[in-house]
Amino acid sequence: MTMMTPDSRFELRQVAGDEWIISDHQYDAHDERSAVACIFRTEEGCEVTWLVDFGLPTRFVCPANVVEDLRRALARRRKPIPIPHFAPPAAPVRPEV
């Protein structure tokens, strides 16, 4: 079973009966960075081992939910707002006495 996200960046691929992998098509298939997560079915749902830290949970109801949350998390990401940095004010010069 293979499931592509609407933007086709991520692919959910079943590699065994109860195991899936999420691949990132931003990288070549032979590039180690293309593997984003491994998913294992448990009695409670699915356990995710993230190979890239997206700050997402490690437990989900089903593999499709993992891909949905990953897609949503990346859609929310924005570049940080730059904070202007100014040099500290110059100390007043004291007259020599």
Domain range list for the chain:
2-75
What gap in Å lies between CA 32 and CA 58, rounded to an integer? 21
**For residue 1, what pLDDT is reported?**
52
What residues in the chain have per-residue pLDDT under 70?
Answer: 1-7, 97
Contact 45, 60 (CB under 8 A): yes
**For residue 56, what pLDDT is reported?**
92
**For residue 61, what pLDDT is reported?**
94
**For residue 81, what pLDDT is reported?**
76
> Which ranges constitute the DSSP H helices of the chain?
63-76
β-sheet bridge partners, residue 12? 3, 22
Q: What is the pLDDT of residues 37-58, one digit of tens each?
A: 999 999 989 999 999 988 899 9
Contact 59, 46 (CB under 8 A): yes
**For residue 6, what pLDDT is reported?**
52
Q: How many CB atoms lie within 10 A of CB 37?
A: 23
0.75 cut: is pTM over it?
no
In degrees, to the nearest 5, what angle opens at C-alpha 71 toward C-alphas 70 and 74? 85
